[in-house]
Amino acid sequence: MADASVERFYDRLAADYHLVYHDWDASMSRQSASLHAVIGARLGTGSASVLDCSCGIGTQAVGLSRLGHRVTGTDLSRAAVARAVDEAAARAVRLPAAVADMRRLPFPDARFDAVLSADNSLPHLLTGTDVLAALTGMRRVLRGGGLLMISTRPYDEILRSRPRTTAPQLSETADGQAFTFQVWDWHDDGERYDLRLFRLLPRDEGWHVEVGRTTYWALTQRQLTDFVLEAGFEAPRWHTPDSSGFFQPLLTALAP
């Protein structure tokens, strides 16, 4: 089952997830500062109640909590959620968190001021039905006028060349340098791809290699905007990394 493999992929990755960044702490600070500015511009300054419905190990959720927002984190991966809670505690911030599928959010209607799904999490959903189920649920748990924020890889650009690999990411560990990189195998439909994530970890005099596999749907900005409108959101707007400071294109929209 597709979602079982997503869960397994992230459960196995949780302990090493920070290695996909050169400096996870610095990325966490940068990403949350940009999202904080977007929240402030759309909802006004002050503390917002935010649901990060694909929080992973807490890259955005912990950072936003540190900036004074009341963040709840949910994610499909139990191991990632457990690490997010630990990372928050290590930084003395509160992060209530739970395992939940973004297609079935376990919260009452109108519970949050903002809902976030960052760093290419939504494209793990591989059908229009699933994407719409997730977005409709996000709208349901937002208060009227609440803010949706979704970031994805720049798929409009990526679909022009359908790359097969990503550049290696180097990070320093206590045992030496580690490298991560991805290999992408495009499906015949030209829209979906299987991703293999290679982790080369320093071990004794050589390397220990871990490989995980998952699938993504390279949704264009037009496709995602159409789904957001179909789910009942208003005023969709794409923010470029230059304009938002966030490292990926960021879609915002408002609950009616």
Binding site for ligand SAM (CB under 6 A): 3, 6, 10, 54-57, 59-60, 75-77, 80, 101-103, 118-121, 124
Instruction: Report, in Å, the least distance between residue 6 CB and ligand SAM.
Output: 5
For residues 217 and 233, which CB has a smaller minimum distance to ligand SAM in the complex? 217
For residues 45 and 96, which CB has a smaller minimum distance to ligand SAM in the complex? 96
b/e code 16-28 from CB counts within 10 Å (16+ = b): bbbbbbeebeebb
Instruction: Report, in Å, the least distance between residue 96 CB and ligand SAM.
Output: 16
Instruction: Report, in Å, the least distance between residue 140 CB and ligand SAM.
Output: 15
For residues 66 and 234, which CB has a smaller minimum distance to ligand SAM in the complex? 66
The two tokens of residue 233 are 């959101």
- Closest-CB residue for ligand SAM? 56
Instruction: Report, in Å, the least distance between residue 119 CB and ligand SAM.
Output: 3
For residues 149 and 254, which CB has a smaller minimum distance to ligand SAM in the complex? 149
Burial class (CB in 10 A: 0-12, 13-18, 19+), 69: buried
How many C-alpha atoms does 142 have within 13 Å on its Cβ side? 27
Instruction: Report, in Å, the least distance between residue 87 CB and ligand SAM.
Output: 10
For residues 9 and 46, which CB has a smaller minimum distance to ligand SAM in the complex? 9
